Amino acid sequence: MTNSNEELDEGLARLFGPARRKRKRGREISEAEAVAMIKKSVRDAPNQALAVRRALASILAALQSVAPPMHHVIAVLSSLFSRSKVFRDEFVRAMYPIFSLWASKRLYSVELLELLEHWDAQYRSTYPQLHAAIEAIPPKFKGLLHDHRAKARAATEDAAATTRMTEIQYTHVCSELGDAETAIGLVLQEMEAGLAILVPTVEDKFEALLPTLPPVTEVLHSDDNDDEEWEDVVPSSVVAHTSAAHLTLADVIAQCGLGSAAYSLTITVPALHAPAPSLEHVQTAVKEGALHLRKRYLPLLRQWETTVNAHAFSSPDVRRRLQKLHDNVRSTLLKWDELREMISLNTNSV
Q: Do both 35 and 100 map to the same domain?
A: yes
pLDDT at 2: 58
- Domain hosting 323: range is 164-204+277-345
Contact 148, 110 (CB under 8 A): yes
The residues near 4 (Cβ < 8 Å, ≥ 6 apart) are 41, 44, 45, 46, 51
Q: What is the largest CA-CA distance in the chain?
A: 141
The whole-number pLDDT of residue 150 equals 96
Closest CA to 147 of 99, 98, 108: 108
pLDDT tier for residue 267 given thresholds of 50, 70 and 90: very low
The predicted pLDDT at position 276 comes to 53
The total number of structural domains in the chain stands at 2
pLDDT of residue 226: 55
Average the pLDDT over 273-285 and give the result.
Answer: 74
DSSP-assigned letter for residue 275: P
Spatial separation of the C-alpha atoms in residues 141 and 153, rounded to whole Å: 19
**181 and 50 share one domain:** no
Reported confidence tier of residue 253, pLDDT bands at 50, 70, 90: low
Average pLDDT over residues 281-300: 93
Q: Which of 305, 285, 170, 341 is CA-nearest to residue 293?
A: 285
Candidates 338, 331, 334, 329; CA nearest to 202 is 338
Q: Are 339 and 332 in contact (CB under 8 A)?
A: no
- Please check whether residues 197 and 85 belong to one and the same domain: no
Asked if the model's pLDDT at residue 273 lies above 60, the reply is no
In a domain, 112, yes or no: yes
Domain of residue 132, CATH code: 1.25.40
CATH number at residue 336: 1.20.58
Where among 137, 172, 191 does a domain terminate? Answer: 137
- Specify whether 122 is located in the same domain as 193: no
Same domain, yes or no: 126 and 173: no
Query: Is there a domain that residue 270 lies in?
Result: no
Residues 168 and 282 in one domain: yes
Q: Is residue 23 part of a domain?
A: yes
Domain end marker among 92, 121, 137: 137
Residues 61 and 124 in one domain: yes
Question: Is residue 125 domain-shared with residue 66, that is, in the same domain?
Answer: yes
Q: Is residue 41 part of a domain?
A: yes
For residue 149, being part of any structural domain is answered with no
261 assigned to some structural domain: no
310 found inside a domain: yes
Question: Which pLDDT score is estimated for 288?
Answer: 94
Same domain, 132 and 171: no
pLDDT band at 243 (very low <50, low <70, confident <90, very high): low
293 burial (CB, 10 Å; 0-12 / 13-18 / 19+) is buried
Q: What is the DSSP letter of 109?
A: -
Residue type, 309: N
Confirm whether 158 is domain-assigned. Answer: no
Residue 6 CA: distances (Å) to CA of 9, 10, 281: 5, 6, 94
pLDDT at 225 over 70: no
Rounded distance between C-alpha atoms, residue 83 and residue 178, angstroms: 63
DSSP 282-320: HHHHHHHHHHHIIIIIHHHHHHHHHHHHHSTT--HHHHH
Give pTM, 2 decimals: 0.58
pLDDT: is 10 or 214 the higher one? 10
Which of the 8 DSSP states describes residue 23? -
Cα–Cα dist 279/194, whole Å = 9
User: How do residues 308-324 score in pLDDT, each as one tens digit?
Assistant: 999 989 999 999 999 99
Q: For residues 186 and 56, state if they share a domain.
A: no
pLDDT in tens, 146-202: 999 999 999 999 999 999 999 999 999 999 999 999 999 999 999 999 998 887 654
Q: 124 and 186 share a domain? A: no
260 phi and psi angles, rounded to 5 deg: -65, 145
**Residue 27 predicted with pLDDT over 70:** no
In this structure, the answer to whether residues 294 and 337 fall within a common structural domain is yes
Q: Tens of pLDDT along 84-98?
A: 999 999 999 999 999
pLDDT of 252 strictly over 70: no
